[in-house]
Amino acid sequence: MKKFFKGFVYAFNGIAYAFRTQVNMRFHAFVGLLVVGAGFYFHITSTEWAIIAIAIGLVMSAELFNTAVESLTDLATKEIHPLAKTAKDCAAAAVLICAILAVILGGIIFIPYLVQLF
């Protein structure tokens, strides 16, 4: 059971590391908080909350995977290597795709509320 709980400590250490070292992680978290605030303001439905939660979790998870790939790549080689570049670029692309999806989902959810507001 001790190992089980130690796993949570490691996971929180990873999240803390990403927040300390990755500007994009802080940016995604800030935008996520803005979206949550908008959700409370517009009183979105439980289904919309679920979609927003999944989108935020997806982007934050992708950013953590990106950080892991970058760290492992830097550990593996200090040289500029085409495969290292490919690994980092693909990990960054995964974050970009998740972020674009999150923006699309946010638009689908919030544009009708914004139209009603104006």
CB 27 within 8 A of CB 35: no
Structure tokens at 50: 């679920």
Total number of residues shown for the chain: 118
Distance CA 110, CA 44 (A): 9
Instruction: Identify the pLDDT of residue 41.
Output: 97
| 48 a catalytic residue | no
H runs (alpha helix) in the chain: 2-21, 23-42, 46-76, 82-117
Distance CA 105, CA 111 (A): 10
pLDDT tens, residue order, the chain (118 aa): 888 999 999 999 999 999 999 999 999 999 999 999 999 999 999 999 999 999 999 999 999 999 999 999 999 988 889 999 999 999 999 999 999 999 999 999 999 999 998 8
Catalytic residue among 48, 63, 70, 79: 63
Structure tokens at 86: 């490919």
Q: Which domains does the chain have, with CATH numbers?
A: 2-117 (1.10.287.3610)
Q: Give the C-alpha distances (Å, rounded to integers) separating 7 from 2, 14, 88, 116.
A: 9, 11, 26, 46
